[in-house]
């Protein structure tokens, strides 16, 4: 069985603050894939990043960075110098066990105040 836990239901920050969204996953498989999606108020799901289980290298893309740690089964997402446009629900997702169907976490609602 696979499971994704996003313990933070809602985070509220002021613009320019850094914020980290937590994601903890569970799987018995050694091969798996982790994802982050952004869902802005308009509703669409926007793909942000995909990570496979054999690549623990952290990644940075502009103000976004991801910290993948297999030792703690975590794949956390940090937004540096947050902006109002970052306000959205962010979902962490997992694929494992030979399935191609992502299992989503419950999502973290990020509110960035001006």
Partner 1 sequence: AAGVIQSPRHLIKEKRETATLKCYPIPRHDTVYWYQQGPGQDPQFLISFYEKMQSDKGSIPDRFSAQQFSDYHSELNMSSLELGDSALYFCASSLSGGAAGELFFGEGSRLTVL
Q: What are phi and psi of 93, to 5 degrees?
A: -140, 160
* Interaction of residue 11 with partner 1, rule CB under 8 A: no
User: Does residue 52 sit in helix, strand or coil?
Assistant: strand
Interaction mask 34-73, partner 1, x per CB under 8 A: -x-x----xxxxxx--x-x---------------------
Cβ pair 62, 82 in contact under 8 A? no
| 80 vs 87, beta carbon nearer partner 1 | 87
Residue owning tokens 């502009």: 62
Distance (Å, rounded) from C-alpha 33 to C-alpha 88?
23
Which stretch in 14-22, 65-73, 79-87, 105-113 sits in contact with partner 1 by CB under 8 A?
Answer: 105-113
By the criterion CB under 8 A, which residues form the site for partner 1? 33, 35, 37, 42-47, 50, 52, 91, 93, 95, 99-107
């Amino acid at each position: 069985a696979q499971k994704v836990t996003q313990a933070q239901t809602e985070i509220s920050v002021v613009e320019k603050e850094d914020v980290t969204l937590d994601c903890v996953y569970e799987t018995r498989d050694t091969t798996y894939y982790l994802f982050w999606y952004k869902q802005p108020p308009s509703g669409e799901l926007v793909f942000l990043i995909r990570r496979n289980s054999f690549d623990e290298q952290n990644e940075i893309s502009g103000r976004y960075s991801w910290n993948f740690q297999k030792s703690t089964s975590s794949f956390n997402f940090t937004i540096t110098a947050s902006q109002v446009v970052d306000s959205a629900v962010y979902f962490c997702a997992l694929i494992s066990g030979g399935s191609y169907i992502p299992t989503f976490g419950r999502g973290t609602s990020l509110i960035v105040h001006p």
